[in-house]
Chain A
Amino acid sequence: MKKVEVITSILNANDLIAQENQGLLRNHHVLGVNLMASPGAGKTSLILQTAKALASHLRIGVIEGDVASCLDADRVASVDIPVIQINTGGECHLDALTVQKAIKALPLPELDILFIENVGNLICPVEFQLGEKIRVVIASVPEGDDKPYKYPGMFTAVDVVILNKMDLTPYVDFNLDAMRQGVRTLNQRAKMFELSCRTGEGIAAWTEWLESQLRAEKK
């Protein structure tokens, strides 16, 4: 019997492709943003609201990841944003390889920001680097204020926590202080934005921050 040292991440193949994706986006000065959340938290809505605020002076592209259907891609395409839909057919997250195929099908020289809308899932997507610069989790008020502690793998790993559906706080049991405390305790470097895609509340703070990140990327 012989022991052979390996010391290699099992996701090494994915990570290498993610680095290629990162290179592709960097070369074209495109800011890659990975949007992760439970189904229905507001990933597509955030993309649409962000596009509404920025499309006059910034060029946005989208990769949509879903198990099935083109419903999200159709919503995005209806406002003239270049979009590629990935159907994973059962896989519960996007991976770097399928994202690379989509990246290569987009007009990168004509984009400033690329949103990658991940499959609706608070668990698996965070394990798979896609080549993004910014990792975002979108939580929403009706989901409850305990989600950071229940999904520490996700909440400790992201750069941004967006709390959507703030307009519903009068109608559900949701302790905003508890949510803020949870995010700060698990990931105090994460930027937190409290907003409502439906009413537009808080969107400006998010889009201004995003633009500042883009300026840093373009340097």
Chain B
Amino acid sequence: MHELSVTEQLLNLTLEHARQAKAERVLKINLVLGDLSSFEGESIQFCFDILSRGTEAEKAFLSISRKPARVRCQKCKDEFSPRETNWACPRCGGFIEEVVSGREFYVESIEIE
């Protein structure tokens, strides 16, 4: 199960920035999670609640902002959000040039006191 090791990374990153800012407590962690990412928000919160005990980030709330998958058409350069098996460009039927967003998994900011 990998949410545990990934949550450890999240906690380390949070504490690093919190300590740099001389925080006493971390109140909230603003996460960005893309729809193409395989990580699961609730599992991370669950693991985080356990791992953060005894640290400045104990009881911090994970606020997860989701980014939908967006891709760019190679032919007409239009950007769209693919659904189910509809990954061909809705405007011209072209193939994808690249995935523009949807793979995100980062900490945007933390709120401390």
Contact = CB atoms under 8 A, between A and B. Distances in A.
B45 interface: no
Nearest to B88: A185
Interface string A180-201: 0010111110000000000000
B36 interface: yes
A2 interface: yes
Decide if the interface of chain A is mainly helix, strand, loop or mixed: mixed
A216 interface: no
Given A13-B9, A91-B5, A127-B38, A1 B27 contact: yes
A3 interface: yes
Contacts of B103: 153, 157
Interface stretch (A4-12, A28-36, A68-76, A162-170): A4-12
Given A6-B13, A149-B84, 7 more contacts: A1-B111, A6-B17, A8-B107, A12-B9, A13-B13, A126-B38, A152-B69
Sorted nearest first, the 8 A-B pairs with minimum C-beta distance are A188-B95, A6-B107, A9-B106, A185-B87, A153-B36, A149-B85, A123-B38, A4-B21
Interface of A: 1-14, 90-93, 95, 123-124, 126-127, 146, 149, 152-153, 156-157, 182, 184-188
